[in-house]
Structure 1
Amino acid sequence: MTSLKPMESAILLLIRCIISIYTFITWPIYFILQKPWKIRANRSRLRAVSLTHGDDFILYRSVTEISDVHARFLQDKIDTMEKVFRFAVRQHGQKCALGTREILAEEDEMQPNGRMFKKFLLGDFQWRTFTQTDSEAESFGRGLRELGLRSRENVVVFAETRAEWLISANGCMKQNMPIVTLYATLGDDAIIHGINETEVSCVITSQELLPKFKNILPCTPNVTLLIVMEDPLKPLDLNGYGDTVSVLPYQEVIRLGDLSSKSGCLPKPEDTAIIMYTSGSTGSPKGVIMSHQNVVNAMLGYTNVTTFYENDVYMAYLPLAHVLELISESIWMLFGIPIGYSTPLTMTDKSSKIKRGSQGDASVLRPTIIASVPLVLDRIHKSIQEKIEGGPAITKALFNLAMEYKNDWTDRGYETPIINTTLFKPIRALLGGRLRFVLSGGAPLAPETHKSLKTTLCCPVLQGYGLTETCAATTVMDPDDNSLGKTGGPLTCCDVKLVSWEEGNYRIKDWPNPRGEIHIGGTNVAVGYYKQPEKTKEEFYEENGRHWFRTGDIGEFTQEGFLQIIDRKKDLVKLQYGEYVSLGKVETQLKINPLVENICIYADPTKLFPVALLVPNFDHLKSLAEKNGIELSTIEELCSHPEMTKLVLGELQKHAVKCRLQKFEIPQALTLIPDIWTPDSGLVTAAFKLKRKTVQDRYKASIDRMYS
């Protein structure tokens, strides 16, 4: 990037002067209208208090009052998911509930490189009302009964996120049939494991995933029925699945239910609602048993910290097999918020399946709320930075000035409406231009990404903390919370306990904040692991009438009652001289670098330093090569070039110093990996978390070479 020319420097100085004069003149008006002292007071108000102390533990509880909705649920004994959906239908009957964008056609489009890609020609969102959604779910559940399924019989849902996923799950719950959720990106072995362990006879899947079962069915002898959510464009081919398995279209099950006179089999609060298979970062996926009361109480915990409005719209694209998305969509239905379904391939105007000149889902839907995971938010942050870095020097200088100005005034408790509606408008438009808040969960969000996105998207980015074992509910930031790197205060559905971990030097008596392993106890904590009593006994326990879960995460509580995740037991490695390296923490910081597509840090306890296995971003890697006079065309050539390894390591180490990593935390050797890590490769989970042991085993030779 070239430095500013004299004329550009003069323009920038003039702009700074104009901003200073404008600020001086308008500050009294903003002070009166925006009342910044109230905003600052809300930020620092108490979120949780410590109730009890022991020699090695301290317990925190939320001080938030329960909402009117929460109070009504307690009063009316709405304690199952079936009752929640019924309540939502009574409240919001004819309002739009679930929207699916119409696919008009799939067309070939020539790319600049001469290749041909299939692109969608999309229409508007087609909406089901709450009443229509409920009627379809009723028919689906009765249709399952007509096909011979019984109450309390497990049913697998193995499909991408779409309206029919939620409707079929609701239909199962109306008949008290637990749903077993499997990620659509799981490998065959994990799918077979989940199906066989839960002994299901019926699998609900999609037309896109149906061909997988030609390989899977010989290994799943209990399966006799496949129900297929149809593709709107392609005919359904039912051949090749054997004589012992029936394959029925989703709409045929609805038709059977429409003709059925069978009544519902309503669940009780203690009945199993979901057996949710975790993504399995170590070993085979575990099935987490969630009762109806677990899920309902997790939802109610969120209702106490969030305000919703009449014109809110939610865009759904995360896997519904992930507890964050399932809980989110259930909450939006409870409050009558329309849910528009999208995919990463069609979300924005620039998404890979959107025809050139057409609008992506976000531009058409214009959502006010989305849920996301750090992986997606990191990519948005990187794409913004790349665009700014690739532009003229004056553009970069103006952008940085705007960021600096806004962050300064936001910290003081002020909004910056003019900057929001001018300089940051194009960035906000990427996701429809109306976002009111973004909910982030699933993994820690890097503070740099957090700060950048809440500034450029002009809305709160609310980080939360929860696990499948706690139904995604433990802590969450509220809209007044301006902190970075923290996950908010505890929800009302649970208590959070810190327990000293002597081996890792984390103690509740640490100054200035208590630190320790996070244990979560409450009505949202899952029953245990399916058919794994020993593992359940190891991770769950009962104490003082509460059901508790040991998370393995290390946290600390601030004086205001905010929880911050600072480490993880399994990611902690003690080096030769006694320093502890948190592998996950180092990875989170280094992933922000534009050169990094993915990274795995490894530390040998007998050595002095960690090393890195790095999947590079090809465009940035090539740009770095060209700047240094290296002309290689493929990613394989670049990754195997010794000079490139040195250059990337140098860039990574500079970035690590900028992120204030300690010297012993910074990788001293590096291997560039040309292959992208996907769930199909077996190196990351369906939620794109590293399978650390698998990665280390796969690249053992490279690790040995780096240490030699």
Structure 2
Amino acid sequence: MGEYVWRTYVDVEKEARHFGAGLRELGCQPRQNIVMFAETRAEWMIAAHGCFKQSIPVVTIYATLGDEAIAHGINETDVSTVITTYDLLPKFKKILAKTPKVDTIIYMEDPAQEHRKGGVYCKIKTKYTTLRSSEPVPPSPSDTAIIMYTSGSTGVPKGVILSHRNMLATLKAFADAMPIYDGDILMGFLPLAHVFELLAENLCMIGGVPIGYSTPLTMLDTSSKIMKGTKGDATILQPTCITTVPLIMDRISKGITDKVSRSGEFASAFFKWAYTYKQTWMRRGYDTPLLNKLMFARIRGLLGGRVRMMISGGAPLSPDTHAQVRICLCCSVVAGYGLTETTSCATVMDPHDRSTGRVGAPTSGTDVRLLDWDEGGYRVDNKPYPQGEIVIGGDCVAEGYYKNPEKTKEEFIDAEGRRWFKSGDIGELHHDGCIKIIDRKKDLVKLQAGEYVSLGKVEAELKTCPIVENICVYGDSSKCYTVALLVPHPLHLAELAARLGLPDMDFDALCQNPTVEKAVVKELADHARKCGLEKFEVPAAVKLVTEVWSPDMGLVTAAFKIKRKDIQERYKEDIKRMYAS
């Protein structure tokens, strides 16, 4: 909301030191947990480093989680002090009744709001800025740095214990994998409660890369919180590096496609020619500087015009989106693979790798092995490539799940003097040492005729269809086809209805119209054929959902991965109806 105001390294270090000392004055002790419940901002990072200086473990909880999940995280970790933001205080007021041990709330002020007087929510309410002095207590490698509650795509969020050794192992690996240059600027907008964003920003602090904070609602000139005629964060900041997730990449990709299809017949045809031309030369290892200036400079300008690298993690990135963003934004798109349980570290693509659909080779200091999974037909001796469940080993592997020894024993192994984690993801090892994620154990459904369908793979491909805003595919083992719950793109749905010659209707009525439903199934089938999906993988029936799935509803995680079980539970009647029809 306006120009960026910068802090120096000296300012940040001093603030973090004072903050940590202030926590000690308030009675927080080393190795006693404290909760961070806030959106991404500079104070989040400073507060976390203040805690690290005093060996105080930080419990991170996504600000978008439901009240029950937040209370669960606070109670399970026996926390009495919570750091939050001014605008989350009203939400916290509801949670306080369920968290009897909490007696201190520290809030980060919101400069955009006048502070209301009164309304004390609990015994002490401390402003972030008033905390001061006491000597640091440096942590040892095995001390807990963070207890990170995963966004929980399956069931209740689990607390993953990450030690300072884990964090430094990942930072070493990322420092080897990511080239950093003078003049780089990172735009940070993903949740800092997500291990990938936290480690990427810490790498920037080590490498001297300034971080400018943003939000998905203020990022672009066209974002919903930016007033018409004023500039979005990307235009002002002009970042060179961006960390992102596939959902945001899909939106950028669809935005480009929409703009092109509305630019008239000649411009659209010229763009398609330029795109194909550049793609051909890029496959041979060349760039097209003249075309970049003439054709792609305007698209590049959407993100400030200086982006040279986008790093994507958190979910599978579809090859089409990967290629389109790389070509149109004229930058490297680096996909990585890792889990909260491996401190977001496992494999990272080389910035010069021209392929798509892969997640790169293991990072330095990390071991990756494949284990046979006979039930799914994935074996290490498969031809042409070895396949199997990915098991990750090294110093980046977490200490385990908080207060959950059974689950820890089930998924973590100590062998050969290393700690290993069974990921549940199925990988394929290519001849150049790169890994391709081809499946997930939990996403695999066997249909009546014996074919296996990877729901995650089908969803990743169908998400690139213009009409799809979000999708959840469901397969019943007693049936011979899959069905889908689909959140449609309102504009594209209206265009489809117009092509069908239907009278003007509102969005809800369109979603309930059987003719529109059939047309959407046909659109999906056509798109799936282009993506190379098998006929049995394509949903034979869809239910068009009018509500947009958000983390607040509990249907997607804070990293926007769908929560399969919750969605199926919410729409179980619709699923029955689709199979019955």
TM superposition score category, shorter chain reference: over 0.9
Counterpart of 1:668 (choices 540, 553, 556) is 540
Counterpart of 2:470 (choices 588, 592, 598) is 598
Q: Is the 8 A contact 1:213 1:241 kept in 2?
A: no
How far 1:245 moved relative to its partner? 2.6
For residues 414-493 of structure 1, what are the structure 2 equivalents within 5 Å?
414-493=286-365
Match of 1:20 in 2: none
Counterpart of 1:542 (choices 386, 394, 414) is 414
SS in 2 for 1:380: helix
For residues 601-612 of structure 1, what are the structure 2 equivalents within 5 Å?
601-612=473-484
How far 1:241 moved relative to its partner? 4.2
How far 1:346 moved relative to its partner? 1.1
Distance 1:438 1:238 in 2: 43
For residues 303-314 of structure 1, what are the structure 2 equivalents within 5 Å?
303-314=175-186
Counterpart of 1:136 (choices 2, 6, 15) is 15
Greater C-alpha radius of gyration: 1
Match of 1:184 in 2: 63
SS in 1 for 2:87: coil
How far 1:413 moved relative to its partner? 1.5
How far 1:578 moved relative to its partner? 0.8
Query: Which amino acid letter does the alignment assign opposite residue 300 of structure 1?
Result: K
- Count of residues in Structure 1 that have an aligned counterpart in Structure 2: 580
SS in 2 for 1:594: coil
How far 1:390 moved relative to its partner? 1.6
Q: Which has the higher contact order (CA 8 A, sep 6+)?
A: 1
Is 1:621 the counterpart of 2:493 in the alignment? yes
Q: Is the 8 A contact 1:214 1:241 kept in 2?
A: no
- Deviation per CA, 1:468-520: give whole Å up to 9, x if none: 00111100011111111000100012100100100000000011110000000
Match of 2:129 in 1: 251
TM-score scaled by length of structure 1: 0.81
Distance 2:405 2:212 in 1: 39
SS in 2 for 1:124: coil
How far 1:571 moved relative to its partner? 0.3
Q: Is the 8 A contact 1:299 1:331 kept in 2?
A: yes
Q: Is the 8 A contact 1:214 1:240 kept in 2?
A: no
Distance 2:187 2:554 in 1: 29
Q: Is the 8 A contact 1:318 1:372 kept in 2?
A: yes
Is 1:345 the counterpart of 2:223 in the alignment? no
Query: Which amino acid letter does the alignment assign opposite residue 546 of structure 1?
Result: R
How far 1:268 moved relative to its partner? 0.4
SS in 2 for 1:422: helix
SS in 1 for 2:558: coil
Match of 1:369 in 2: 241
How far 1:306 moved relative to its partner? 2.1
Match of 1:692 in 2: 564
Distance 1:401 1:388 in 2: 12
Is 1:387 the counterpart of 2:244 in the alignment? no
Match of 1:647 in 2: 519
Query: Which amino acid letter does the alignment assign opposite residue 307 of structure 2?
Result: L
Query: Which amino acid letter does the alignment assign opposite residue 538 of structure 2?
Result: I
SS in 1 for 2:423: strand
SS in 1 for 2:2: strand
Query: Which amino acid letter does the alignment assign opposite residue 325 of structure 1?
Result: E
Match of 1:214 in 2: 93
Distance 2:483 2:521 in 1: 10
Q: Is the 8 A contact 1:291 1:527 kept in 2?
A: yes
Match of 1:198 in 2: 77
Match of 2:31 in 1: 152
- Deviation per CA, 1:602-632: give whole Å up to 9, x if none: 0000110100111111111111111212124
Match of 2:394 in 1: 522
TM-score scaled by length of structure 2: 0.99
Structure 2 residue runs of 5 or longer lacking an equivalent are none
Q: Which moved more, 1:135-144 or 1:626-635?
A: 626-635
Structure 1 residue runs of 5 or longer lacking an equivalent are 1-121
Q: Is the 8 A contact 2:485 2:542 kept in 1?
A: yes
Is 1:495 the counterpart of 2:495 in the alignment? no
Match of 1:330 in 2: 202
Task: Give the % identical residues.
Answer: 54
Match of 1:13 in 2: none
Match of 1:559 in 2: 431
Q: Is the 8 A contact 1:316 1:341 kept in 2?
A: yes
Distance 1:281 1:420 in 2: 39
- Regions of 4+ moved over 6 Å: none
How far 1:158 moved relative to its partner? 0.6
Q: Tell me how large the CA RMSD over aligned residues is.
A: 0.9
How far 1:238 moved relative to its partner? 5.9
Query: Which amino acid letter does the alignment assign opposite residue 248 of structure 1?
Result: T
